Amino acid sequence: MEEGSGSVNHYYSGSLSSPITNIAQDHLLTIFLLLPIDAILSLSMTCKILKDITSSDTLWKSLCCRDFGSTCVDSLMYKYQLQISWMRLYKQVYQLDSVCCHRLYETHGADLDFPSARASHSLNFVSNCLVMFGGGCEGGRHRDDTWVAYISNDFKKMLKWKTVSSGIPSGRFGHTCVEMGDFLVLFGGINDHGNRQNDTWVGQVIHNEKSGITFSWKMLDVGAIAPPPRGAHAASSINDKRMVIHGGIGLHGLRLGDTWVLEVSENLGFGTWYEIISHPSPPPRSGHTLTCIGRSRTILFGGRGLGYEVLGDVWLLDTCQGYQKWIRIVYDFGNIPDGVSLPRVGHSATMVLGGRLLIYGGEDSARHRKDDFWILDISAIPSITMQPTTLSSKRVSTKMWKKWRSNGYEPNRRSFHRACADPSGRYLYVFGGMVDGFLQPDEPSALRFDGELFLVELLLQL
């Protein structure tokens, strides 16, 4: 055994040739990209040749593209002008545990035009612009305005908003609006008469040399089949060609539990709706979130159920290879530090740098609003296609949840706000929502609509 052990040590010292080191370097890089990070780091310790390859910027840039997304990598390259160590970036991203909030402007006193206070609106990042539409305001009224603000490289500067008033959808709140490439797709909502909508609209940012930035809406032709009217539902895009919606509040105030998918044509000329029938499936709810976590997978979290209870369950919808099944991801609140505070409604859930889902704000069953940040590690979530015929639920480690610290500006606790991330996933924009107010003799409640925009930055040392 001693002689054999010595031979192994001599072999891995790099003095003898290894079959794997005889493989061309570009082929080795391809192999490494199929491996988890732990395996790559283990291989780096076996011999000098593999250590050199696994330390290369080429490999770590490819790993960043694989795990963070090529759009994120392209955005980081543009912002930092290629002056970045991809290995260092990768390590820092997975060591992230905090954010820093920045207030972008004062809502009063500035000689600028800003969107008014609102909640249950839509806010999206598309074509280097923030686009906001609709929402509810005081007195149960709806908004019908569209606002556009161009985002430059200076992410912390005051934004200049511009209103768009032509060809817009009717006023509403509780609608959804998702990005599909350079387009936005809007569905549903409720107006101030309580009427539920089921129309579908397409929006596009237009950059004009003379008139600057404008925005146009048009109704999408979807034929005779469409989901029942609703508001306070959730939606997410999938691969820039499909949109999935779930739940919401339908006619007569009934909470819904159905799932629909919209498939769109090239350039979003027309679309086709169809319903996904899956057993089991998430119970009816409203005020929840749907977020695409890459490829064909979508995560549903939270909301308010049929009994008005606030939920904290997690469901995965996987539409890969036509399976289109819902799977509940089971975990134990009691084994998570501060896990009892996880159930919520009216929160935001946004994919950020590192392929993580960032949950912010919302309110609990007693309508206590929140200001906490939670990370859902999607790498701990399995794929339905692993066991498509037998998997009905999946219990995962409670390490999938982690609470992040917040530094800098302290925004008000809020619910039914909206949030969206820039292409790098490092900066999250948050606007509006319901916040705690101050009781006055003529006020029926201590609630108010907020008109604040602030920036949430993932703290990296680059």
pLDDT digits (tens, 9 = 90+) for 165-207: 766 899 999 999 999 989 999 999 999 999 999 999 999 998 8
Of 63, 94, 125, which one is at a domain's C-terminal end? 94
Same domain, 206 and 348: yes
The residues with which 261 forms a beta bridge, in sequence order, are 244, 274
Average pLDDT over residues 390-415: 83
Is it the case that residue 110 has pLDDT exceeding 80?
A: no
Same domain, 319 and 424: yes
Q: In the structure, what pLDDT confidence band is assigned to residue 108 with cuts at 50, 70 and 90?
A: very low
Same domain, 167 and 198: yes
Distances (CA, A) of 305 to 205, 247, 250, 314, 360: 36, 10, 13, 14, 20
The Cα–Cα gap between 164 and 181 comes to 21
- Determine how β-strand 348-352 pairs with β-strand 373-377: unpaired
Same domain, 90 and 105: no
Q: Report the chain's terminal Cα–Cα distance, integer Å.
A: 48
Q: In the structure, what pLDDT confidence band is assigned to residue 369 with cuts at 50, 70 and 90?
A: very high
Of 67, 94, 121, which one is at a domain's C-terminal end? 94
Distances (CA, A) of 433 to 143, 185, 288, 368: 14, 21, 15, 13
The side-by-side arrangement of strands in the sheet containing 242-249 is: 234-238, 242-249, 255-264, 271-276
Same domain, 315 and 390: yes
* C-alpha closest to that of 300 among 278, 321, 271, 268: 278
**Cβ-based neighbour number of residue 335 at 10 Å:** 11
pTM of the model: 0.88
Phi-psi region of 322 (alpha: psi -120 to 50; beta: other; left: phi over 0): left
* C-alpha closest to that of 415 among 313, 365, 350, 345: 345
Same domain, 14 and 122: no
The Cα–Cα gap between 218 and 423 comes to 25
Is it the case that residue 387 has pLDDT exceeding 70?
A: no
Contacts of 360 (CB under 8 A, 6+ apart): 347, 348, 350, 372, 373, 374, 419, 428, 430, 456
Domain count, the chain: 2
Same domain, 83 and 207: no
Averaged confidence pLDDT in the chain: 85
* C-alpha closest to that of 21 among 38, 39, 44: 44
- Determine how β-strand 136-137 pairs with β-strand 453-458: unpaired
Contacts of 319 (CB under 8 A, 6+ apart): 238, 242, 244, 261, 296, 297, 298
What pLDDT shows up at residue 223? 94
45 three-state secondary structure: coil
When comparing pLDDT for 412 and 443, which is higher?
412
**Cβ-based neighbour number of residue 311 at 10 Å:** 21
Same domain, 111 and 46: no
- Percent of the chain clearing pLDDT 70 (strictly above): 84
- The mean-pLDDT minimum among 182-186, 265-269, 442-446 falls in 442-446
CB 406 within 8 A of CB 100: yes
Same domain, 40 and 175: no
CATH number where 37 lies? 1.20.1280
Is it the case that residue 148 has pLDDT exceeding 90?
A: yes
CATH number where 129 lies? 2.120.10.80
Same domain, 223 and 293: yes
Structure tokens at 283: 């119970």
| Residue-number span of the structural domain to which 189 is assigned | 99-458
Q: In the structure, what pLDDT confidence band is assigned to residue 290 with cuts at 50, 70 and 90?
A: very high
Average pLDDT over residues 283-295: 94
Same domain, 146 and 278: yes
Structure tokens at 218: 């048009």
Average pLDDT over residues 391-420: 86
- Burial class of residue 338, CB neighbours in 10 A (0-12, 13-18, 19+): exposed
Same domain, 194 and 260: yes
Of 37, 71, 94, which one is at a domain's C-terminal end? 94
Q: In the structure, what pLDDT confidence band is assigned to residue 438 with cuts at 50, 70 and 90?
A: low
The Cα–Cα gap between 260 and 317 comes to 12
- The mean-pLDDT minimum among 63-77, 144-158, 172-186 falls in 144-158
Average pLDDT over residues 250-261: 96
